[in-house]
Amino acid sequence: MNNRILALGLGLLLSAVASAANVTADRLVNAAKEPGQWMTYGGTYSEQRFSLLKKIDAGNVEQLGLKWFADYETNQNQHGSPLYVDGVIYVSTARNVVHAFNAKTGKQLWKYNPVIQGERLRYNLGLVNRGIAAWNGKIIMGTLDARLVAIDAKTGKEAWSVDTVPASLGLGEMTNKYSITMAPRVAKGKVFVGGSGGEFGVRGWIAAFDAETGKQVWRFWTVPGDPAKGFENPKLEQAAKTWSGEWWKSGGGGTVWDAAVYDPVTDLLYFGTGNATPWNARARDTKVIDNLYTASIVAVRPDTGEYVWHYQEVPGDSWDYDAVSPMMTADLTLGGEKKHVLLQPSKNGFFYVLDAAKGTLLSADPFTEVNWATGVDLKTGRPIEVPGSRYEAEPWNLAPGVQGGHSWHPNAFSPATGLVYIPAWEAYFTMAGPAANSPPPAAGGFSLGISMGTRVDADKLKPYARQGVRGRLKAWDPIARKVVWETEAFANGGPTSGVLATAGNLVFMGNGGGKALSAYDARSGAKLWGFDAKTAVFAAPISYELDGVQYVAASVGGAAQGGYFAPTHARMLVFGLGGKSVLPEPAPYTPPALNPPPSTASAEVIAHGGELYGRSCSVCHGVNGLQARTSFPNLTVTPLLYAQDAFDAVVLRGVRADKGMGSFAKDLKPEDAVAVREYLIARANALKAGTPAVALPAAPRRETGHAED
């Protein structure tokens, strides 16, 4: 055997080994040396989402075309940013179905479905998953029923699965209110992931699990528990002094549902925490008080979970200003001094720059319209609040609204341009305290403490009356602390997708409302390329190189507004220069006819069914039995209304668990399922007759990719 053949044989052997996602600690720390790969959620540990690849550039991007596409099994919103490792694309889709594709051809190598369980499904905001981690031959994912699973990257078979909130934690009823939607991060042989559920009243945490076995290594509670039971550590004892009332009964909130960054430079793990529960500070506490460590960025030691520093963006939050928006580390020259910093464009509308080692606030400036604070005091780090914005006496038309000036959609930073690319929103929402005579929130429902859906006369609103969301791409200079360029606001109130920046001076972003994936000049913002994805785009694209060819991959799929369970054409799209593949035209879609059986049940049964429906079903299927704007089935037109046994097979026996509809047998008795069906029959008949629905409290933002914790 001559040396050339030997080398060829070795190369084949190595590529065979590598195809099992052999991601090691060394490869992750040195990810920038393998620019053709995309081995971790944010591209590298810095989470800058900056690809060093530049074969596709601002000069030739107009030749970018579709190389291949692959359809998904799921029909819901796709938020999952893919990974690319050694010839394979891995992507988590809605309701935790993971696909592995040959990155050159699009051939599906395997598909994994964890079959999520029903009792935890009623506490989530959209069956989404934002991403996965790769580690030592495994793909690791958090699930909607709060498990952490490891999948063999070669076979797609489950390697291990653990419940991240076991009964042994003693959380009682809270146990089943957690879900996981964030991408786990992996470093030093540990997987870091947090539980979602802040809107439902849980106690926030982030925990580390052994990446080989799933065994818990440590857990950091973000808020103190019941003082009578003692505190887990002295930091939580201190934090308890920043609460009043009986916060532990509703958990306190502070959920870690998106941003986490492991920083090899400081050897710290940073994460953001969500709102305190319930939203309204006055519904939570006897006085407005800081509520540590909610709405904060926290740094801990990755090996032990030991607290190192925190910075609270919003003391005593009353606006759902989770501090969980994606963060990144960068090296910036500030005032002539090189600084290693942590950057976050936050939901609350401010762009924060913190010293990464110490957590000191270096700057905080509004990157979008903000009317709850006039600025942030750099000495104290506290926001300077606008009087009235806490809606104590009168409603306040909040900007950014609870949708956020920017939410979970990943940002990018280009060291070449020095700009941070933010999928930014101008968002408005009317905040109003609960009406004097309003009943307390139903058990198991949203824990918000505000009056949702109250109609407030526009002329009574302060400081003005605006509603909705307008998305646009903004390029932010973190040194000059200003917007350098921005696109026009998207039509249709279109939200944005996540962002990818490349060394080819390009920024890729999708526009959820407009069904387009676009490329912009990273320096000027000029739109250079666009592609009709035939569906909404929410997830952040990635770029990779295979056999000397650069590709851009985007996971697309989202409900069109008003699309009553219309197919979303959710897919993986992969682009390269000269690509000529063509997406099929979506077939015309006719919604099922509204043709219910007659409503014969008693008013009591229907009312009882409505109450149960509101508690267990409305999160996915919509208020009043009608989901107008997402891709979940519209239950007023389902044939299941005609047969209780068929209805029970789905609701109580879980025959559609593999489609994301797990059994609700632990929540609903057989007579409850009868009442829910009778409620839906009554609702369908009322809709057919044109009877207006009774206003029930609605969740604000499950539609159009806003879904969060």
* Active site members: 320
Q: Does 449 bind Ca ion (CB under 5 A)?
A: no
Count of other CB atoms within 10 angstroms of residue 453: 13
Minimum gap (Å) between residue 699 Cβ and Ca ion: 11
Unique residue bearing structure tokens 């050159």: 104
Question: Quick one: which of 86, 322, 545, 672 contacts Ca ion (CB under 5 A)?
Answer: 322
Residue 163: helix, strand or coil by DSSP?
strand
159 SS3 class: strand
From 32-40, 193-201, 260-268, 419-427, give the range in contact with Ca ion by CB under 5 A.
193-201
Region binding Ca ion by CB under 5 A among candidate stretches 157-165, 184-192, 315-323, 451-459? 315-323
Q: Which is nearer to Ca ion, 198 or 316 (CB)?
A: 198
Stretch binding Ca ion (CB under 5 A), from 9-17, 176-184, 270-278, 688-696: 270-278
**Considering the complex, what minimum distance in angstroms separates the CB of residue 546 from Ca ion?**
39
Question: Three-state SS string across 542-571, please?
Answer: EEEEECCEEEEEEEECCCCCCCCCCCCCCE
- C-beta of 204: minimal distance to Ca ion in Å? 11
Choice between 151 and 323, CB closer to Ca ion: 323
Q: Examine residue 463 and say whether the peptide bond preceding it is cis (omega within 30 degrees of 0).
A: yes
Closer residue to Ca ion (CB): 198 or 579 = 198
Nearest distance in Å: CB 210, Ca ion? 30
Query: Any contact of residue 275 with Ca ion (CB under 5 A)?
Result: yes
Phi, psi dihedrals of residue 219, rounded to the nearest 5° = -140, 130
Q: How far from 433 is each of 315, 316, 385, CA to CA, in Å?
A: 19, 15, 18
Min. distance of Cβ 703 from Ca ion in angstroms?
16
Main-chain dihedrals φ then ψ at residue 296, nearest 5 degrees: -130, 160
The DSSP symbol for 672 reads: H
Of the candidates 230, 173, 250, 382, the one whose C-alpha atom is nearest the C-alpha of residue 240 is 230
Among 285, 313, 320, 678, binds Ca ion (CB under 5 A): 320
Residue 54's Cβ-count burial label (10 Å; 0-12, 13-18, 19+) is middle
Closest to Ca ion by CB, 260 or 506: 260
User: What distance in Å separates the CA atoms of residue 20 and residue 327, rounded to the nearest whole number?
Assistant: 29
Whole-number minimum distance, CB 708 to Ca ion, in Å? 6
- What is the spatial distance between Cα 537 and Cα 419, in angstroms, rounded to a whole number? 23
Q: How far apart are CA 156 and CA 140, in angstroms?
A: 11
**Closest CB 42 distance from Ca ion, rounded Å:** 21
Task: Please state, as a whole number, how many other Cβ atoms lie within 10 Å of the Cβ of residue 265.
Answer: 12
For residue 539, the SS3 value is: coil
Q: Are 196 and 178 in contact (CB under 8 A)?
A: yes
Give the C-alpha separation, 583 to 557, whole Å: 13
Cβ proximity to Ca ion: between 365 and 708 the closer is: 708
For 337, phi then psi, to 5°, come to: -120, 135
383 is a contact residue toward Ca ion (CB under 5 A): no
Sign of CA dihedral 608, 614, 618, 619: negative
User: In this chain, which stretch among 222-230, 236-244, 322-330, 643-651 interacts with Ca ion, using CB under 5 A?
Assistant: 322-330
Which one, 197 or 609, has the nearer CB to Ca ion? 197
Report the nearest approach of Ca ion to the CB of residue 321 (Å): 8
197-236 residues in contact with Ca ion (CB under 5 A) are: 198
Nearer to Ca ion (CB atom), residue 139 or residue 323: 323
| Distance spanning both ends of the chain, measured CA to CA | 59
Q: Which helix (H) or strand (E) holds 609?
A: helix 603-616
Kindly indicate which of the ranges 123-131, 266-274, 506-514, 605-613 contains the residues binding Ca ion, using the contact rule CB under 5 A: 266-274
Tell me the residue length of the chain: 709
274 counts as binding Ca ion under rule CB under 5 A: yes
Give the nearer residue to Ca ion in terms of CB position, either 347 or 474: 347
- Residue 258 lies near Ca ion (rule: CB under 5 A): no
Contact range with Ca ion by CB under 5 A, out of 65-73, 188-196, 275-283, 580-588: 275-283
Residues that bind Ca ion (CB under 5 A): 198, 274-275, 320, 322, 709
